[in-house]
Amino acid sequence: MTNPTFFEALHWASIFLEQHQQEDAGRFLLLERQHWTTTQLLLHYREVIPLAVWQQFQADVRRFAANEPAQYIVGHAPFFGHEFKVTPATLIPRPETEELVEWVLNELPSHPLKILDLGTGSGAIAISLKLARPQWQVWASDISPAALAVAKINSQQLAAPLTFRKSDVYAQLAAEHFDAIVSNPPYIATSERNVMDTRVLAYEPATALFAAEAGLGLYRRILQGLPQQLQPDGQFFGEFGYRQRPALTRLVAQLLPAAQVAFRRDISGHQRMLQIKL
């Protein structure tokens, strides 16, 4: 096909991806590359697509057909009303994690606080909190220098100044105390690899996905350190797997028997978030 219209290009992508048994991501790829809204796309539907745009679109669709995530192809992902740079060094931020950010903002007071985003990845949680509460002092830590590099770029591009620290859980944060710690840590058991999306396994960083102890190894370390890292009356907010509430409940009772614990369901109805008050 040469010189198709934008409408015809999308039709080609739909057929091509269906033949490769993939979801139709053509519209997302085109909109993101063009920085268009859906309305703008409709206005250009019958126009001939420029050759350079057509060549880029074909390359993007073929990469998606080969299981590369669309967000990595275009280099960014939406989260909490902002666009974040993402690379294979960082997880792609999910809508469920937006609910965690919303919960934190609703539960914590708006006056100045010191907050830690533990395992920040792209910085999506930390930056979203800072933009919503400029008066908060927000720290962002990660064990991965490559992930921190991406988070720093996002921090600069979105004008959200953070304090960054390379740290394996609390190793380089021992002297710090926080009013709240927020985390979306690795929580997937390695035994679940065979039921996971091929796209995720092939491209997203395994160190940000998997944890020992049936997925709760990192949670054990996080919970053990909360009494030392949180201020009196401090809080922890975390995301976990939809089957993990019973095991996580037992773990909290074992490590923090005096803590108050609340769980919250995500938009799909799964219990995926917890709040701990010491």
The annotated binding site is made up of 119-123, 142, 184-187
Cite the annotated binding site for S-adenosyl-L-methionine by residue number: 119-123, 142, 184
Query: In this structure, what token pair is assigned to residue 202?
Result: 């092939």
Instruction: Tell me how far apart the alpha carbons of residues 210 and 129 are, in angstroms, rounded to a whole number.
Output: 25
Q: How many CB atoms lie within 10 A of CB 140?
A: 30
Closest CA to 74 of 54, 99, 56: 56
Closest C-alpha among 120, 233, 257 to residue 182: 120
* The residue to which tokens 């992902």 are assigned: 77
Q: Which of 80, 106, 107 is nearest to 93 (CA)?
A: 80
Q: Long-range contacts made by residues 187-190, C-beta under 8 angstroms, separation at least 24? A: 187/211, 187/215, 187/216, 187/218, 187/219, 187/239, 187/240, 187/241, 187/244, 188/215, 188/241, 189/214, 189/215
Annotated binding site for substrate: 184-187
